[in-house]
Amino acid sequence: MLENGFRRNRCVSLCFLAFAHTEPPYFTESLEPMEVTAGDAVCLKCQVAGTPEIKVSWFKADGKVRSSPTCKLEYTKGVACLKLSKATKSDIGEYTCKAENRIGSASSSCRLNVQAKTPPSFPKKITSLQQTEGQPVRFECRVAGSLPIEVSWLKDSKPLSQGEEFSMLYDDNTAVLQINNSEMRHSGEYTCVATNSVGSASCRAKLTLQGSSVFKHTWPIEWSPDQVLTLRAGDNVSLSCKITGRPVPQVLWYKEGKEIDKRTMIDIEITTGIGTSSLFIRDSNRNHRGIYTVEAKNSSGTRKADINVRVQAELDSKLIGETVTVTAGSDLVLDGAVGGKPEPTVYWSKGDKILELGEKYSLTYTATRAMAVIKSCDRYDTGRYILTVKNASGIKTAAVSVKVLGEQPKGH
């Protein structure tokens, strides 16, 4: 613009005002009540949000808390912390964290309780035990007191170590000492000691172990009480076992409740050494049938184990597909080879009746054999016996005719 021959400049100023959203402080995570034990470290923590700059202050019992060697105040990235290195009873009370900015303020409070440390104690103590040597032993007790607690075990005032002999466990305030395979030397006084920073406590109990007679059955014949052993006439057999105990047990063998006399039963040999005993039957026959008992006894007691020995007469075995003649009173074996994939279902039958395991028939089926034993044959066993093999691929049969001659001997 020209005015009076001169250029006149007009200056126009524009003013821009920016309005930012502001908000007072608020807590996204508030303080939580806390209970600790004297001497524990403490951290009271909360999280603050709002428009910076935010100033954080701590208060207790209407007084401001200030930093000291035992108390540190921190505020970083919106997280406010009050840290005590070691809590004492004087630290008990209500704490308030106050957050302020130029818009406003907010506060969060919690209570801190400090419990005195307590020495260990035993709400449940170990108890004295009386057991038989060889059995596992377990001492167990419950421990109370301020953590951390260390637990140790003594035997006759001497420390015990964890290993194969002794197993020690302390978990969930329960202390356990276990001896997996007890021996007489483990008898004595056991002590459990619990220790923490303010004291210790102990409880004691005695372990008394008694001598034992223990059977450990070994090859060639293993048995358990009431087990049955079936032999064929002419077989040799050895009944052997390991026997341990203190004092060393005396070992006796019985047949049908009567002690076996080696002088009169020349076909039976009994051998007993340190820790072992065996009974050997040579060339077995039906006279050797019966219940055999081995007995071990010492001043601590008596242990027994029985086995029922059965001796069968020599069995006649014939091939499938022919007629078999057998004398009344004899046992007869019908034995056939079987096989197939998938593994077939196999059974013996007489006529249209399937043979069932029982006093009359002994049945054995394997993946390759099917054996039926007809016991003490009589004239009613005469007939046609059929072996059936079937699976998803089909069915096959084989037959044998059995004829029983003569009358069944008396006494059978």
The number of C-alpha atoms within 13 Å of 62 and in the hemisphere containing its C-beta is: 0
What do you get for the CA distance between the two ends of the chain, in Å?
Answer: 150
Distant-in-sequence, close-in-space partners of 161: CB < 8 Å, separation ≥ 6: none
* DSSP characters over 379-408: GGG-EEEEEEEEETTEEEEEEEEEEEESPP
Angle at 386 (CA atoms; ends 380, 391), nearest 5 degrees: 150
How far apart, in Å, are the Cα atoms of 406 and each of 33, 382, 384? 100, 12, 18
DSSP code for 146: S
Please give the structure tokens belonging to residue 336.
């056939």
172/196 Cα distance (integer angstroms): 16
| pLDDT, one tens digit for every residue, the chain (412 residues) | 444 554 554 544 443 344 456 899 999 999 999 999 888 899 999 999 999 999 999 999 878 999 999 999 999 999 999 999 999 999 999 999 999 999 999 999 999 999 888 899 999 999 999 888 788 999 999 999 988 999 999 999 999 999 888 999 999 999 999 998 888 889 999 999 999 988 999 999 999 887 654 444 433 334 444 467 777 667 788 887 777 777 778 888 999 989 988 777 778 888 888 778 888 888 887 788 888 888 888 877 788 888 888 876 543 333 455 788 888 988 988 888 787 766 788 999 998 899 999 889 999 988 888 889 999 999 899 999 998 888 766 788 888 899 998 865 554 4
pTM tops 0.85, yes or no: no
Name the residue with tokens 């006439």: 233
Q: Order of strands across the sheet with 268-273?
A: 214-217, 237-244, 276-281, 268-273
Q: Positive or negative CA dihedral for 255, 270, 221, 362?
A: negative
All domains of the chain in start order, with CATH: 26-115 (2.60.40.10), 121-210 (2.60.40.10), 222-312 (2.60.40.10), 314-405 (2.60.40.10)
Q: Positive or negative CA dihedral for 27, 29, 31, 32?
A: positive
